[in-house]
């Protein structure tokens, strides 16, 4: 099934066995509400690691059944995060979620060389799936949050990550656009050079499972009329499923524009670790966090 709406991700996960979610420092109402929603939807079992008394207070205030969760009492932010990671390594949970813990501490626990979740030489990145009203399908976007200025090898990893996520959405041959400021090949722009190399690698079978083209400006990646006006020949042809941005500034501006001006529905997670790890802002809505949980559950092995 080719998933084209965020709600369809939830429907797809419902058809699979429930995954166990470990939540790091689950001391905020949006996170608890999102996990509660996901449990009620029948897509996960939830383990909350945090201050049990605070979790109880939030559940009472929000009228959520405290008994639906397994709660591990750990009131210290960093210790709770390490414990949530430990549950993954011990096989007690299959994917991870950030609660009220700050992003730097969450990342520190994941990246810990001895007790973390990152395999040797792996690239940790961030993938967002978004539904924008005036685009006919979901967009898989990277990297908006982790890699500030990815080099060529990191961009290759990012490309493979968005392809894998697109496959999870049922898209057999996703169209991947490697974004730059222009679709013209400019040797003076590193984004163009990297995109051209990755595009050629895909053409020769070194990157599999997708149609990949770049460099592409954003307009010719997502708008067929722009492709026709510019008389561009591209396997993406204005119908991108995935957008790989050249740096965090470009990606983050696109992400926040979609979120704040276009009211896009979205989910987000870290990829490259031993398991998907939900990474949304502490201020994100329960809806966004629920979509993120469903997205990570879909991708979890």
**pLDDT exceeds cutoff 70 at 159:** yes
Torsion 16-282-261-234 (CA) sign: negative
What CATH number is given to the structural domain containing 138? 3.40.718.10
Please indicate, yes or no, whether residues 17 and 93 belong to a single structural domain of this protein: yes
Closest-CA residue to 35 (of 78, 82, 71): 71
Indicate whether 192 and 293 sit together in one domain.
no
- Indicate if the pLDDT at residue 282 is higher than 80: no
Q: Burial of 90 by CB count in 10 Å (0-12 exposed, 13-18 middle, 19+ buried)?
A: exposed
What's the average model confidence in pLDDT over 251-258?
94
- 8 A C-beta contact, residue 48 and residue 69: yes
* % of the chain at pLDDT higher than 90: 89
Calpha distance 40→129 (Å, rounded): 22
Mean pLDDT of the 201-228 span: 97
Cα 163 versus chain centre, distance? 12
How confident is residue 252, by pLDDT bands cut at 50, 70 and 90?
very high
Whole domain around residue 95: which residue ranges?
6-121+273-299
Average pLDDT over residues 35-58: 95
- pLDDT tens-place string over residues 48-99: 999 999 999 999 999 999 999 999 999 999 999 999 999 999 999 999 999 9
pLDDT at 288 over 90: no
Pairing of strands 125-131, 265-271: antiparallel
Claim to verify: residue 130 and residue 251 sit in the same structural domain:
yes
pTM to 2 decimals?
A: 0.92
Instruction: Give the integer Cα–Cα distance in Å for 230 and 192.
Output: 18
Residue 209 pLDDT > 70: yes
Task: Please tell me whether residues 188 and 227 are part of one structural domain.
Answer: yes
155 and 223 share one domain:
yes
Mean pLDDT of the 273-301 span: 85
Q: Has residue 281 got a pLDDT over 70?
A: no
131 found inside a domain: yes
Average of pLDDT values for 129-148?
A: 96
Measured CA to CA, the distance from residue 39 to residue 46 in angstroms comes to 7
In-domain check, residue 266 = no
136 and 40 in a common domain: no
**Pair 218, 179: CB distance under 8 Å:** yes
CATH of the domain at 68: 3.40.50.10950
Q: How does DSSP assign 253-272, residue by residue?
A: HHHHHHHHTS--EEEEEEES
User: Which of 142-151, 202-211, 278-287 has the least mean pLDDT?
Assistant: 278-287
Which tokens hold the place of 158?
Answer: 């990012």
Neighbours of 262 (CB within 10 A): 14
- In this structure, are 172 and 115 located in the same domain? no
**Burial class of residue 67 (count of CB atoms within 10 Å of its CB; 0-12, 13-18, 19+):** exposed
Query: Exposed/middle/buried for 61, CB within 10 Å: 0-12, 13-18, 19+?
Result: exposed
Please state the length of the chain: 301
**In this structure, what token pair is assigned to residue 276?**
């998907």
Total structural domains in the chain?
A: 2
What is the residue whose two structure tokens read 């005036």? 134
Give the pLDDT mean for 226-244: 97
Of the chain, the percentage scoring pLDDT greater than 70 comes to 98
Per the structure block, which two tokens stand in for 123? 């690239």
3 state SS of 100: coil
Q: Average pLDDT in the 148-159 region?
A: 97
pLDDT in tens, 113-132: 999 999 998 999 999 999 99
Per-residue 3-state assignment (H helix, E strand, C coil) for 163-177: HHHHHHCCCCCCEEE
Is there a single domain that holds both residue 182 and residue 114?
A: no
Q: Answer yes or no: is 130 within a domain.
A: yes
Task: Read off the tokens for 159.
Answer: 């490309």
Q: Which residue has the tokens 């656009």?
A: 177
The answer to whether residues 219 and 180 touch, using CB atoms and an 8 Å cutoff, is no
Mean pLDDT of the chain: 94
């Amino acid at each position: 099934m080719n998933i084209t709406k965020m709600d369809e991700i939830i429907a797809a996960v419902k058809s699979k066995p429930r995954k166990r979610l470990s939540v790091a420092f689950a001391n905020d109402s949006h996170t608890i509400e999102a996990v509660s929603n996901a449990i009620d939807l029948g897509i996960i079992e939830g383990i909350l690691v945090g201050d049990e008394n605070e979790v109880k207070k939030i559940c009472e205030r929000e009228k959520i059944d405290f008994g639906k969760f397994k709660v591990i009492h750990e009131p210290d932010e960093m210790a709770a995060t390490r414990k949530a990671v430990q549950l993954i390594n011990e096989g007690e949970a299959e994917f991870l979620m950030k609660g009220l813990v700050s992003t730097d501490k969450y990342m520190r626990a994941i990246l810990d060389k001895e007790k973390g979740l990152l395999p040797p030489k792996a690239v940790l990145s961030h993938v967002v799936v978004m539904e924008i009203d005036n685009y006919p399908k979901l967009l898989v976007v990277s990297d908006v949050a982790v890699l500030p200025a990815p080099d060529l090898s990191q961009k290759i990893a990012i490309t493979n990550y968005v392809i894998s996520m697109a496959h999870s959405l049922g898209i057999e041959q996703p169209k991947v656009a490697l974004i730059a400021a222009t679709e013209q090949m400019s040797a003076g722009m590193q984004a163009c050079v990297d995109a051209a190399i990755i595009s050629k690698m895909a053409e020769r079978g070194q990157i599999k499972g997708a149609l990949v083209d770049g460099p592409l400006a954003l307009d010719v990646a997502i708008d067929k009329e722009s492709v026709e006006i510019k008389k561009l020949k591209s396997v993406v042809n204005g119908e991108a499923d995935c957008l790989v941005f050249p740096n965090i500034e470009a990606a983050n501006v696109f992400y926040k524009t979609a979120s704040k001006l276009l009211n896009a529905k979205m989910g987000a997670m870290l990829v490259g670790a031993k398991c998907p790890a939900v990474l949304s802002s502490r201020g994100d809505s329960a809806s966004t966090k629920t979509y993120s949980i469903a997205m990570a559950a879909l991708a979890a092995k």
